[in-house]
Amino acid sequence: MTVSPHHMEEKKMVNTIDFNKDIARDYGLRESVIATYLWELLDRDLESIERNGRVWTRISQRMITVALPFMSVDMARRSLKKLAEEGSIVRDVFNDDKFDHTYWYAFTDYGFEMMEPGTYS
């Protein structure tokens, strides 16, 4: 079976991870990968909500490890905590089910500045 270069390019794209090099430099590679993943989720997630002047997306730390299988739940938790402590993201719980403690995440104004191309250095 012959594989066209175009098909190889599509397959290769599926296995790539994007990250912001400036965030990686300032906060760490894992934090940059997670911030970029959250940014992309907010851009395409149909379950995002707008509340308190921010757009929020809901994702568990375990789901992050499904999307980013090279990270453990503990790595995701620590990276999310670091991004929150640095003022890049905020988290809250907006779930109707009182037993559902999955966090919702949103970027702060500072976080938006970091993620917008060409505005952070």
Residues of the chain with confidence (pLDDT) below 50 = 1-13
Rounded to 10°, the helix 73-85/29-44 angle is 90
Question: pTM of this prediction?
Answer: 0.79
Return d(Cα 25, Cα 29) in angstroms, integer.
7
User: What integer pLDDT is reported at residue 8 of this predicted model?
Assistant: 43
Report pLDDT digits (tens) over 6-39: 444 444 445 778 888 888 998 999 999 999 999 9
* Token code pair at residue 14: 């599926």
Structural domains of the chain ordered from first start: 18-115 (1.10.10.10)
- CA proximity to 27, closest of 106, 109, 85, 107: 85
